[in-house]
């Protein structure tokens, strides 16, 4: 089994689709005029989204009610500001992707919560940022009508114990989109577990279909705000949705390696 797992993983890594699924390079960053102090590190937007809000006594798993907030987790854009990042590969438009979505952008928006019932109240607290994509980092195509840092707030685990607690054990997939036909009103009156069920194993984020923008592939993403905005949007991560074959192969490789580790004898104490 160990040999099988290594062979599968080797094949997976040999595929171009197995480039890193998240943005890996900050091309440029200009903080806006109202960026909070300390939230101006663009490297915070690289890598995968956060699964916890921190390690303090009042922290917990990231849920749609409990967004990442520390300066090493998110970077602010702000009025007149912009962030441009790049992937280490071409992110392709693939109609076979779930819901046709090819790109996900995670912010730190959160759903409103009734503290009498601990159910979603049908509102979302977001700070919309505009998005554009590019093949060469020079010619940009705007994702008109789509805004980062609004829907869908990040969910770290499929089995959240509550809106603000630690204890989730089944990670969501940061590359699995949430059904874009859902709206904030669909979550009204639901608890954290019920919202997780609607997420369907996904972690949230703004989903972008490159085909709908008329572009077959991109490498660059630009997130910005007009100079007149009175708020500062926060960005946690920019993630590519892998091709179905790549996602399946990676899952098989992980399963094979996990099984191999489970069969390896452990030294006695």
Extents of the domains making up the chain = 1-19+243-269, 22-241
| Cβ neighbours, 10 Å, residue 247 | 18
Q: Where are the alpha helices (DSSP H) in the chain?
A: 2-14, 192-199, 244-263
Bridge partners, residue 86, by sequence: 25, 220
Cα dihedral sign, 32-35-37-39: negative
What values do phi and psi take at 69, rounded to 5?
A: -140, -10
Whether pTM > 0.95 for this model: the answer is no
Collapsing DSSP states into helix, strand and coil, what is residue 171? strand
- 11-28 b/e with 16+ CB inside 10 Å = b? ebeeeebbbebbbeebbe
What pLDDT tens digit does each residue of the chain (269 aa) get? 444 444 444 444 444 445 899 999 999 999 999 999 999 999 999 999 999 998 887 899 999 999 999 999 999 999 999 999 999 999 999 999 999 999 999 999 999 999 999 999 999 999 999 999 999 999 999 999 999 999 999 999 999 999 999 999 999 999 999 999 999 999 999 999 999 999 999 999 999 999 999 999 999 999 999 999 999 999 999 999 985 544 444 444 444 433 443 333 333 33
Bridge partners, residue 261, by sequence: none
């Amino acid at each position: 089994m160990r040999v099988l797992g290594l062979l599968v993983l080797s094949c997976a890594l040999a595929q171009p689709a197995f480039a890193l699924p998240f943005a890996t390079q900050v091309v440029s960053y200009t903080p806006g005029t109202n960026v909070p102090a300390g939230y101006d590190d663009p490297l915070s937007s690289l890598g995968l989204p956060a699964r916890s809000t921190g390690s303090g006594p009042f922290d917990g798993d990231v849920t749609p009610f409990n967004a990442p907030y520390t300066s090493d987790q998110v970077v602010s854009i702000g009025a007149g500001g912009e962030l441009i990042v790049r992937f280490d590969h071409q992110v392709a438009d693939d109609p076979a992707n779930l819901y046709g979505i090819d790109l996900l952008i995670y912010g730190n928006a959160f759903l409103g919560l009734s503290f009498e019932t601990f159910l979603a109240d049908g509102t979302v607290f977001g700070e919309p940022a505009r998005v554009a994509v590019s093949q060469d980092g020079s010619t940009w195509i705007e994702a008109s009508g789509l805004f980062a840092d609004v829907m869908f707030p990040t969910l770290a685990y499929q089995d959240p114990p509550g809106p603000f607690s630690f204890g989730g054990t089944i990670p969501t997939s940061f590359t699995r989109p949430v059904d874009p036909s859902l709206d904030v009103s669909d979550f009204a009156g639901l608890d954290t577990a019920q919202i997780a069920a609607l997420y369907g194993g996904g972690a949230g984020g703004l989903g972008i279909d490159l085909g709908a923008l008329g572009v077959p592939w991109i490498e660059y993403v630009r997130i910005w705000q007009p100079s007149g905005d009175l708020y500062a949007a926060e960005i946690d991560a920019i993630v590519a949705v892998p091709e179905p074959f790549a996602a399946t192969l990676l899952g098989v490789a992980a399963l094979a390696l996990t099984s191999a580790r489970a069969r390896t004898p452990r030294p006695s104490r």
